[in-house]
């Protein structure tokens, strides 16, 4: 089953996480960029981008990651990225594998500390 694209944001003090699920292509990349912009708008200390739920990622997704990395660097926001195998392959082919940093999930944090915002 092919899943359309969905992005949502989880916020906790000093940290935002953008989750992306489904197929990220030219037609859906605007939704990803909107989620990334919203996540950065509150100037968190760190931004984590979780692409583990992507079944497909086009070059547009890698370009969005590269742009976000540059913006976060300019704003002093630490950025990290977790990717699925399809996304990792695209980054590797483009010579951008350095963008993907594997990060352990934060366990033990209560749901009350996080605020989840769906992005339509």
Identify whether 95 is part of a domain.
yes
pLDDT in tens, 14-50: 999 999 999 999 999 999 999 999 999 989 999 999 9
Any idea which of 33-47, 58-72, 80-94 has the lowest mean pLDDT?
80-94
The count of structural domains within the chain is: 1
Residue 47's nearest CA partner among 11, 7, 90, 100 is: 11
Identify whether 107 is part of a domain.
no
Secondary structure element (H or E) that encloses residue 105, with its range? none
Identify whether 116 is part of a domain.
no
The mean per-residue pLDDT over the stretch 106-110 comes to 36
Residues 117 and 120: their CA atoms lie apart, in Å, by: 10
Phi, psi of 71 (to 5 degrees): -65, -45
Identify whether 118 is part of a domain.
no
Residue 91 has pLDDT above 80, yes or no: yes
The beta strand positions in the chain, using DSSP E, are 6-12, 15-24, 46-57, 78-83, 115-119
CATH of the domain at 67: 3.30.750.24
Identify whether 113 is part of a domain.
no
What per-residue confidence (pLDDT) applies to 101? 52
Identify whether 63 is part of a domain.
yes
23 lies in which domain range? 6-102
Cα 80 to the chain's mean position, in Å?
Answer: 8
Identify whether 29 is part of a domain.
yes
What per-residue confidence (pLDDT) applies to 119? 57
Identify whether 112 is part of a domain.
no
pTM for the model stands at: 0.81
């Amino acid at each position: 089953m092919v899943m359309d694209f969905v992005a949502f944001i989880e916020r906790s003090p000093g940290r935002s996480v953008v989750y992306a699920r489904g197929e990220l292509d030219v037609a859906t990349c605007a939704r990803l960029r909107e989620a990334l912009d919203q996540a950065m708008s509150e100037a968190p200390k760190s931004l984590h981008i979780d692409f583990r739920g992507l079944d497909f990622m086009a070059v547009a997704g890698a370009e969005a990651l590269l742009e976000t990395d540059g913006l976060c660097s300019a704003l002093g926001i630490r950025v990290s990225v977790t990717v699925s195998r399809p996304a990792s392959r695209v980054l590797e082919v483009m010579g951008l594998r350095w963008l993907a940093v594997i990060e352990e999930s934060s366990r033990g944090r209560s749901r009350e500390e996080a605020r989840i915002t769906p992005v339509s």
